[in-house]
Amino acid sequence: MKTRREALEYGLSFPDTYQDAPFHDDNWQLVRYKPNRKAFLWSYEKDGCVCLNLKAEPLRAHFWRSIYKAVKPGYHQNKEHWNTVILDGTIPDEDVRRMIAESYDLIADCPAKRIYEAVRQIPYGRVATYGQVAELAGDRNMARAVGNALHRNPDPDTIPCYRVVNAAGRLAEAFVFGGVNMQEKLLAAEGVETVNGKVDLTRFGWRRKIFFTDLDETLLTSEKTISPATHEALRRFAERGNSIALASGRSLHSVERVQKDLGIDFPRSYILSFNGCQIYDCDRQETIYRAGLPLAVVREIFAMANKYGVYVQTYTDDRILAPRECEEQRFYANMIKTPYIIDEDPMKHLDQPPCKMLCNELHDHAKQVRFQNAVMERFGDEVDTMYSSPYYLEIIPKGCGKGTAAMILAKHLGVPVADTAAAGDEENDNSMLEAAGLGIAMCNGNERTKAVADVVTNKDNNHDGLVEFLDRL
C-alpha cells in the first residue's frame, strides 16, 4: 500500500465511517467514526511520501515502531498513543491494514465492549464485583456502567454476567437474569453457594493473579522437564482464573516449544521471552510488546566480540544467528533446541532490531568480564548486561528486563502489583523478583538473587520447590 487512495478506501470500508477535510487544506484527509466523530486515520503527504497517523495502544505503538523503520512516533500528535506510518513500500499491505484496523477499534471502542470482554475473563466457579469488572475494563469509576451494560447483555451464552455481584457479594435483582432465583441457580450449577442472597467473597471471589516464573533451574528440573507435582500445582493455579507468565532469556520459539511439550500452555498464559524484551499473549497468539537493540549497536558488539575473542550470538523470533561454529555455539545448541543460522555476517539476516544478544564463554570468565566492561563503557547508555547463568552474559536494551516486562504486563491486564508473584534463580531474574508483590528465590539460586527476594524456597527445582507457593497464591 503506497497511495492515499488505497488507505482512505480501506479506512472507509469500516462501519459508520466518513471522510473529512477539516483544515481547509487538501493535503489533510481524515477518516472519522460517525457516532463520536473521532478520526482514526489521518492522511497527508510529507517529504514526498504519503503518511498516515494512526492511533495505537502504547504497547502496540512501541511494537510497530520496533519492527518497521517507516513507523515513527505520531507527527504533531500524542507520541505515546499515535504512530505515523510512512507508505514508502517497506511495510507489507497486511500490516498497514492491521494498523488501520487497530486504530479504528480504539476510536470506535465503547465501554460496553470492554466490559463484556472483562466479564468473559471471570473463571468458572468464581464471582467478581462490579468494581472489579470496571477496573478490568479500564476505568475503576464506571461500576454503574457495568451494571447497565450487563442488563443489556447481547450474548448471555458467552458473557457470564451472572458471575458479577455487588461489593458485598449480593446477587442482582431477579429480573436481570430472566426469573426469580435464576442467578442463584446458575451459580449453584458451578458450585458457588449463596446464603440469603449473598455470595461469600472470601470463598468464591475472584482476584486474578499473575505468576511470573523463570524456566531453567526454577520451574524446570535440571533435566529440562517438569515434575508431576509442579505441573499439578500450575494447573490448579490456572484453574482458579489466574495467569502464568513464563519469563525466560530464551527466544519466543524456544519458550513456546517448552510450553507445549510439557503441557503447560494453560488459558490466560503469557510469555516474556528474551529477558522480557518481548511479551506474547498466548491466547491471542500475538506480540503485545517488543524492544530491540539498535542495529548499529549490534554490528559493533559483534566486532568487539572478535576483538576480545569471545563468542556472541543474536536472534530473530525463531532463529539463532551465530557468526561461526564453536564449542560455545554447540553447547548452547544442545541445551536450547532452536534452529541456528551460521553466517560470518549475521547482520544480513536481521530485518528488525533483535531483542537481545548473548555472550557465551565456557572457560575464561575473566575474559568475558573484560568484554562486558568494554560493552558497558561504549554502550552503557543504550544497553544493560547481566548473567543468566555462570556462562551466559545477556545484552538487552537499556531499561528493559524481566522486571520491567512484568510490570508492563500487570498494568496491561489491570492486575495490582500486590497480586503478582515471581520466581527465579539467577541475576537476570533479580529485577522481576524485586518488582513483583512476592519475590521467590530458589534455594539452588545464586546468593545475590536470594538477597533481593522476599522468600527463599525450602526445596530446589528438582524437588518441587515452587509447589507450596503456588498453592498459597
Residue 149: exposed, middle, or buried by beta-carbon count in 10 A (0-12, 13-18, 19+)? buried
- Over the stretch 377-427, which tens digit does the pLDDT of each residue have? 999 999 999 999 899 999 999 999 999 999 999 988 888 999 999 999 999
Q: Which of 255, 167, 232 is nearest to 205 (CA)?
A: 167
pLDDT at position 52 over 80: yes
> What is the model's pLDDT at position 233?
96
Burial of 340 (C-beta count, 10 Å sphere; 0-12/13-18/19+): middle
Q: Quote the pLDDT of residue 178.
A: 64
Residue written as grid cell 507489507: 92
Q: What is the mean pLDDT of residues 108-113?
A: 76
pLDDT bracket for residue 329 (50, 70, 90): very high
Three-state DSSP at 272 gives strand
Which residues make beta-bridge pairs with 386?
394
In percent, how much of the chain has pLDDT > 90? 74
pLDDT mean over 337-356: 92
Q: pLDDT-based confidence at 93, cuts 50/70/90?
A: very high
Q: How far apart are CA 9 and CA 295, in angstroms?
A: 35
For residue 158, what pLDDT is reported?
86
Question: What pLDDT, on the 0 to 100 scale, is given for residue 176?
Answer: 59
Tell me what the mean pLDDT of segment 65-93 comes to.
93
Query: Cα dihedral sign for 93, 95, 98, 99?
Result: negative
Catalytic residue among 49, 51, 161, 277: 161
Residue ranges per structural domain of the chain: 4-107, 111-204, 210-291+401-472, 295-397
- Asked if residue 208 has pLDDT above 90, the reply is no
Using CB atoms within 10 A of its CB, is residue 260 exposed (0-12), middle (13-18) or buried (19+)? exposed
pLDDT of residue 15: 86
SS3 state at 21 = coil
Query: In terms of Cα–Cα distance, which of 268, 217, 245 is closest to 436?
Result: 245
Phi, psi of 396 (to 5 degrees): -135, 165
Judged on CB neighbours under 10 Å (0-12, 13-18, 19+), 120 is middle
- Please tell me the distance from the alpha carbon of residue 292 to that of residue 400, in angstroms, as a whole number: 10
Beta strand extents in 70-205 (DSSP E only): 71-73, 82-86, 128-129, 164-165, 194-195, 198-199
User: Between 208 and 259, whose confidence is greater?
Assistant: 259
Q: Is 359 a catalytic residue?
A: no
**177 has pLDDT over 70:** no
Q: Is the pLDDT of residue 175 over 60?
A: no
Residue 199 contacts residue 190 (beta carbons within 8 Å): no
What local confidence, expressed as pLDDT, does residue 243 receive? 94
User: CB burial class (10 A; 0-12, 13-18, 19+) of residue 21?
Assistant: exposed
**CATH numeric code, 295-397:** 3.30.1240.10
What CATH architecture does domain 210-291+401-472 belong to?
Answer: 3-Layer(aba) Sandwich (3.40)
Instruction: List CB contacts of 306: < 8 A, sequence separation 6 or more.
Output: none
Contacts of 63 (CB under 8 A, 6+ apart): 287, 288, 289, 290
Which residue in the block uniquely carries the three cell numbers 528486563?
401
In this prediction, residue 293 carries a pLDDT of 95
Lowest-pLDDT range of 47-61, 126-140, 222-236, 274-288 = 126-140
pLDDT band at 153 (very low <50, low <70, confident <90, very high): confident
Overall average pLDDT of the 134-155 stretch: 81
Task: Between 169 and 15, name the one with better pLDDT.
Answer: 169
CA–CA separation, 92 and 25 (whole Å): 29
What's the confidence (pLDDT) of residue 11? Answer: 94
What average pLDDT is seen over the chain?
92
25 band by pLDDT with thresholds 50, 70 and 90? confident
Q: What letter would DSSP give residue 134?
A: H
**3-class DSSP assignment, residue 425:** coil
Predicted model pTM? 0.75
What b/e readout covers 58-91, taking b as 16+ CB neighbours within 10 angstroms? ebbbbbbbbbbebbbebbeeeeeebbbbbbeeeb
Secondary structure (3-state) at 156: coil
Higher pLDDT, 389 or 304: 304
* 174, pLDDT greater than 80: no
Instruction: Check residue 216 and report its DSSP letter.
Output: I
Residue 165, pLDDT above cutoff 80? yes
Q: What gap in Å lies between CA 39 and CA 32, rounded to an integer? A: 4
pLDDT for 139 beyond 80:
no
Cell of residue 316, nine digits: 530473530
* Model confidence at 172: pLDDT above 60: yes
CATH fit for domain 4-107, picks 3.90.1150.30, 3.40.50.80, 3.30.1360.120, 3.30.70.360: 3.90.1150.30
Q: Is the dihedral of CA 458, 462, 463, 468 positive or negative?
A: positive
Residues 6+ apart with CB under 8 A from 228: none
Identify the band that residue 454 occupies on the pLDDT scale cut at 50, 70 and 90.
very high
Question: How far apart are the C-alpha atoms of 341 and 316, rounded to whole Å?
Answer: 10
- Backbone φ and ψ for 58, nearest 5 degrees, come out as -50, -40
How close are the terminal C-alpha atoms of the chain, in Å? 49
CATH code for residues 111-204: 1.10.10.10
